[in-house]
């Protein structure tokens, strides 16, 4: 419902990202530019689809799975942020939804295995960063911080720290 209500704004963001001059749409107070956000989203979506396809999943299953995953992520983020919760456990995740909608015969054994392997990043909602980032943006608004361009460098630093810690654990 939230995406439907925001559809005009989302279309305007896509227009602005691809060079159209959109009145009353300024991204100077946003954490990243609209162009960077849209291009990053599309590149990530293509990369994830290709990765799932390369691992053996059918392209239509990959597209449906990623679409459902984004819906669950956005919904979980909204519930966490608006409800003041630390995290939530989604009652329906894309894997079980797809299995119940399409059935095991239509999905096939390879797609079922691939959906099962994707439980590690989709079934545990506590591991996603979207609610934490959304809450940090709200806290920045509350304390009066106007410039939110610090998000990208901080995110890169956090990712580098995660890689370093993971590497030190794996190779020690």
Identify the DSSP state of 86.
S
Average pLDDT over residues 87-108: 87
Q: What share of the chain has pLDDT > 70, as a percent?
A: 95
Q: List the structure tokens of 130.
A: 């979207």
> Which has the minimum average pLDDT: 21-25, 41-45, 122-126?
122-126
**Dihedral of CA 126/139/37/64: which sign?**
positive
Q: List the structure tokens of 70.
A: 């984004």
Kindly report, residue by residue over 29-66, the tens digit of the pLDDT: 777 888 888 998 999 999 999 999 999 999 999 999 99
pTM value surpassing 0.75: yes
DSSP code per residue over 110-141: HHHHHHHHTHHHHT-GGG-SHHHHHHHHHHHH
């Amino acid at each position: 419902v939230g995406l439907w209500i925001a559809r005009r704004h989302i279309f305007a963001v896509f227009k602005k990202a691809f060079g159209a001059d959109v009145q009353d749409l300024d991204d100077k107070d946003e954490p990243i530019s609209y162009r960077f956000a849209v291009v990053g989203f599309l590149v990530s979506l293509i990369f994830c689809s290709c990765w799932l396809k390369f691992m053996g999943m059918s392209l239509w299953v990959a597209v449906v799975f990623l679409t459902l995953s984004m819906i669950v992520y956005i919904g979980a983020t909204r519930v966490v942020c608006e409800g003041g919760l630390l995290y939530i456990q989604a009652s329906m995740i894309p894997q079980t939804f797809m299995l119940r909608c399409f059935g095991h015969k239509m999905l096939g054994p390879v797609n079922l295995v691939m959906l099962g392997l994707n439980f590690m990043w989709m079934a545990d909602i506590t591991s996603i960063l979207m609610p934490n980032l959304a809450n940090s943006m709200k806290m920045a608004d509350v304390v009066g911080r106007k410039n939110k361009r610090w998000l990208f460098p901080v995110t890169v630093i956090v990712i580098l720290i995660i890689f370093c810690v993971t590497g030190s654990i794996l190779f020690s």
